[in-house]
Amino acid sequence: MKLRGLSFLRGALKDERGQSLVLVGLGLMCFIGLAGLSMDMGHGYYALQELQASTNAAVLAGAQAMPNTTQAQTNVQLYSSMTGGLNTSPALQGANATATFMCYPTVTTAIGVPCIAATGSITGNYNSLQVVQTAHVNLWFGKIFGVPIFNLSATGTAAMGGNIAPMNVAIVLDSSLSMTATDDDCGTGITQMNCALQGVQTLLQYLYPCSPALTTCTITNGVASGSVQRVAMFTFPDETLATYANASNCSGTAPTNAIYQTPSSTATSYTPVTATYEISLGLTAGDANGFFSDYRTADQYSTTATSRTLNPNSLLVKMVGGKSGCTGLLPPTTSGRGTFQAGAMYAAQSALTAEKVLYPAATNVLVLLSDGGANTNYAGQFAGSPTPLVTTGYYPTATKDPCQQMIKAAQDIYAAGTQVIAIAYGAPNDNCGVTPLNYDTNIWATGNNVPFTTVGQLTACVAMQNVADSSKDFYSDYTQTGSGSTCKNWDPNYNGTNNSLVNNDNSLQNIFKSVGSLLGGRPRLIPNSLTATAMS
């Protein structure tokens, strides 16, 4: 009996162990299945984010090409996740993107972009583009449960470029002797001065003199009725009051450089005394502060920016060489002044301050183009020299290096609410002018974008980088005469690994196109749910 009882107990234990193992096995399978599904879901979510990002890139690229619908569709495919696109991903299979052109009344009323006649394969009046992109993700574990793929879909909608904001733009151009060097990237034998002027012409093609709702701009003495984006021109060295009009009168004669003036850093308007930095002020046209809005007689909103026609009768267009037979501003034929940017920058800010009183809704923007080198030795080049201009403070003084004065001027201007864009044109990676000119070598200006702690670290390139109010507003053409070819703008999002360049080019024209797109209105993402008239 005892043996039979033990045998029965042994059998019972065996049965229970077998059932337990079965239960454990089922539990493990469920756990692995759930873990696998979780991994698949995470993989699918990541792929969906990739798809949405590429859809946003595709719709913005397409909207950038509008109103040309053919080019817009090409751009959509180029920036999509479709085979051959720039945003293909192993996670996204069978991607397909469909573009639909829209006319949103809300876009017109909210951001001033009208529905305009399209060119290309799809005709109609549009102001926006919507892209729907589909793809599927192959699952790792879902196929065990009969679900081999996830089908994904992402939608992006963008208003076309030209969401115009009122703006006062002061362009400050280096016209020192270094600008007589040639820039073969701009054309064989073309001087850097002429290339810079061509760049300003490009910028004017992107800006808007009057409301895009108007067929033509009504212009009186250089000012458009209901002007939107107004432009004034400044240069350094400054020009004598007797000759500065040579920049705009098509005489082919260079203005005469004057001894550097030092306008107040806190003035609320600009009034030249014996010479002027503002070559657009006090002419036979232009407003009281020297700003023009007649650079085009119509917005030509439906025309690609670089195909828009500048107004040859505008004095502003003449001074940047935009009229046939007019050379525009010429650099000096002899040396003697050196380079000092701060005075021109403070003069520009004074004029911008006064212009904003006339147009309080406008944003003030200062665009500085220079190689960044500041090498004036003051003696004989400044009003009041060779005696130091002041003995205390940072501006104007002959005891402080001019590079830091330029940086401090930019930071003062930005603090006053003006956007500061810096274009380094062949900026060298050597000392910014402190040596061998024997200035005070103390560091007193801050490097908000690129820190420096010694004058040896303050190169012309570093100075221009710190002129921009942020790295996104710093542009560099680093292949020109005198450049160390290393003045490049690195994407700060890459944590200093220097594997992504932004806002760099060996074409000054392309840089001005980028600035023009920034100021003239880039495409922007908008909600997908607006009511519109559409056509695929």
Look at residue 109 and tell me whether its pLDDT is greater than 80: no
Mean pLDDT, all residues of the chain: 83
Range with top average pLDDT, 17-21, 26-30, 163-167, 313-317: 313-317
Among the listed residues 317, 187, 165, 248, the one whose alpha carbon sits nearest the alpha carbon of residue 309: 317
Instruction: Report the CATH architecture of 167-425.
Output: 3-Layer(aba) Sandwich (3.40)
Res 495: pLDDT: 43
Each residue of 138-194: pLDDT tens digit?
765 556 666 667 788 999 999 887 667 899 999 999 998 889 888 888 888 899 999
pTM: 0.76
Residue 11 — very low, low, confident or very high, per pLDDT cuts 50/70/90? very low
- Whether residue 7 is predicted with pLDDT greater than 60 in this model: the reply is no
| 114: nearest Cα among 148, 151, 159, 77 | 159
Residue 369 reports pLDDT greater than 50: yes
Side chain identity at 192, as an amino acid letter?
A: Q
- Each residue of 483-500: pLDDT tens digit? 666 787 765 544 444 445
Q: What is the mean pLDDT of residues 245-273?
A: 93
Cα 57–chain centre separation: 17
Predicted confidence (pLDDT) at residue 258 exceeds the cutoff of 80: yes
CA 516 vs CA 203, 221, 405, 422, 520: distances in Å: 5, 25, 28, 13, 5
User: Where are the chain's structural domains?
Assistant: 28-159, 167-425
Q: What is the pLDDT of residue 534?
A: 52
- The secondary structure of the chain in percent helix, strand, coil, rounded to multiples of 5, reads 35, 20, 45
Nearest-Å Rg of the Cα atoms of the chain is 31
Mean pLDDT to the nearest integer, 270-298: 96
d(CA 344, CA 350): 10
- Measure the CA–CA gap between 293 and 315, rounded to whole angstroms: 10
pLDDT tens, residue by residue, 44-70: 677 788 899 999 999 988 888 888 888
Kindly tell me the sign of the dihedral angle through the C-alpha atoms of 499, 504, 510, 513: positive
Compute the distance between CA of residue 464 and CA of residue 371 in angstroms, rounded to an integer. 8
Lowest-pLDDT choice from 6-20, 258-272, 379-393? 6-20
The CA distances from residue 291 to 236, 238, 331, 480, in Å, are: 18, 18, 22, 31
Q: Is the pLDDT of residue 226 over 50?
A: yes
Q: Is the dihedral of CA 411, 413, 417, 422 positive or negative?
A: negative
pLDDT at 299: 82
